[in-house]
Structures are given as structure tokens and as C-alpha cells.
Amino acid sequence: MPCLIDASSAVSSPPSNRSTIEVGSTRISLSHPLITVMKEFFENVFRYPRYLISFSLGILYSAVEPLVPLLQRPITAVALVGTAVAGFLFLTFTLRAMLGLG
């Protein structure tokens, strides 16, 4: 049975160097200033999680560094751990009471 569809005309590969996109009946150039600004905007937005992580780790390091010498003696280590547990419990009970969680 002969082939009725020419495979070379049925499947067309997309152009490799697209300089415009078509939205509805409007053609938009990829070198349009708005497209360039939006690319820069999203590149900037994607940098924020990395900034948040490094900022948070810096704060944590600055808070823990002065406490490390206190962990070398058993008495101050017990006091420090007790203070941390008491602070955590205080925060937990306060938030549960404020939020009405029982």
C-alpha cells in the first residue's frame, strides 16, 4: 500500500534560532525590553533562597559561637541545656495557649 502522507512535510522541526514567539495573533520579539527585564527579574528571584539560607546560617553561627566555651565545663553545660529546654517549653506552651490548641 502506497504511503499517502509525505513524512518530510508532515513533521516539521522547530526552528533552532527563534527570535519571536506567537501569542494568539500577536508576535512578540524575544529581544523585546520587557522580555529582557522579566528574565533579569526571575534570575534575581531565584537567588533569594540561597541568600536566605546563608543569612540564616550566619545568624545561627553568631548565636551559637559565644555559647561553645560554656559547654566545656559540666556545670555550665547542664545549665545551658536546661535553659534551652526551658526556653523551648516556654515558647511551645505560650504558642499553644495563644492559638487555642489545647
Would you place residue 34 in the very low, low, confident or very high pLDDT band (cuts 50, 70, 90)? confident
* pLDDT over 70, % of the chain: 76
Across the range 80-99, mean pLDDT stands at 96
Nearest-10 Cα torsion for 81, 84, 90, 95: -140
The domain spans of the chain are 20-99
- What are the beta bridge partners of residue 21? 28
Specify the DSSP class assigned to residue 28. E
Across the range 7-32, mean pLDDT stands at 62
C-alpha 10: how far from chain center? 43
Using one digit for the tens of pLDDT, what is the confidence trace for 38-74? 788 888 888 889 899 999 999 999 999 999 999 999 9
- What are the beta bridge partners of residue 28? 21
Supply the pLDDT for residue 25: 78
pTM exceeding the 0.95 threshold for the entire prediction: no
Supply the pLDDT for residue 10: 46
Supply the pLDDT for residue 17: 57
Average pLDDT of the chain? 81
